[in-house]
Amino acid sequence: MKSTASDGFSTRSSEWVGDMTVWLRENGGDNGDRLARLRRQLHLARQRELTPRQRQFLERYFDDGLTMREIAEEAGVDPSTVSRTLHRAKERLRRALQYAL
């Protein structure tokens, strides 16, 4: 159910006039520039900050959509090794990107 209040904000049944959600929906800015910058920084960080094995596992998991078990079979390692390697890779990327924006 959608209604319009006298001040021009549209509301839904779970919202009330003046709700922050309504304000953000109406006045939220486009963050496309920040997102593009973050993508560029992520690409650079993957190349500069990760070990070759971390890059390989990250690519196979996120880019190619393989499961940890499939990556483990492909690499000849235990699935827990893949899990730990991915965790370390994500932590390195998080540290490298935390000040990128």
Q: What pLDDT digit, counting tens, does each position of 57-71 carry?
A: 999 999 999 999 999
Indicate whether 80 pLDDT > 90: yes
13-69: pLDDT as tens digits = 555 555 767 766 777 677 778 888 888 999 999 999 999 999 999 999 999 999 999
Residues of the chain with CATH 1.10.10.10: 32-97
User: What would be the CATH architecture of the domain defined by 32-97?
Assistant: Orthogonal Bundle (1.10)
What span, in angstroms and rounded, lies between the C-alpha atoms of 55 and 10?
A: 46
